């Protein structure tokens, strides 16, 4: 089975009827060679890569990305992981607790003389004996 890949992309920016930007990219892969043609306004470039060259490029990119990640010491990596876990736990706790509105507190007012009298009058009324007819 023969591998085959073809891709094209292009972009044109036109302002007031004039072409301001004209870019395009064409790629062909036949299983052995990758042929790339780029065009930027009037500049055209052709690149041809073999399978070995493509794997070398991909390996270099992988190596660079792992080097960036490996710059941290083990201690620093663990500290970052622990911080992430703590913040995730806090977020979960905050989400799980239901929020209730607190009732406004009112000051208790001291009893006035008039309220005391009312109580005493009402107690006086209840003192009368109830008679049956």
Whole-structure pTM over 0.85, yes or no?
no
Q: What is the pLDDT of residues 20-56, one digit of tens each?
A: 999 999 999 998 999 999 999 889 999 999 999 989 9
Q: Using the predicted structure, report yes or no on whether residue 125 has a pLDDT greater than 50.
A: no
Domain boundaries, the chain: 5-67
Reading phi first (left if > 0) and then psi (alpha if -120 to 50, else beta), residue 17 is in left
């Amino acid at each position: 089975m023969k591998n085959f890949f073809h891709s094209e992309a292009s972009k044109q920016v036109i302002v007031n009827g004039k072409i301001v930007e004209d870019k395009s990219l064409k790629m062909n892969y036949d299983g052995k060679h990758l042929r790339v043609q780029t065009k930027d306004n009037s500049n055209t470039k052709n690149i041809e890569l073999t399978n070995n060259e493509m794997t070398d490029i991909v390996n270099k990119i992988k190596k660079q990305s792992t080097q960036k990640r490996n710059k941290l010491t083990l201690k620093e990596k663990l500290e970052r992981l622990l911080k992430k876990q703590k913040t995730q736990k806090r977020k979960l706790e905050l989400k799980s607790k239901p929020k209730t509105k607190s009732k406004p507190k009112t000051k208790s007012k001291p009893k006035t003389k008039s309220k005391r009298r009312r109580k005493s009058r009402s107690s006086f009324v209840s003192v009368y004996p109830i008679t049956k007819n």
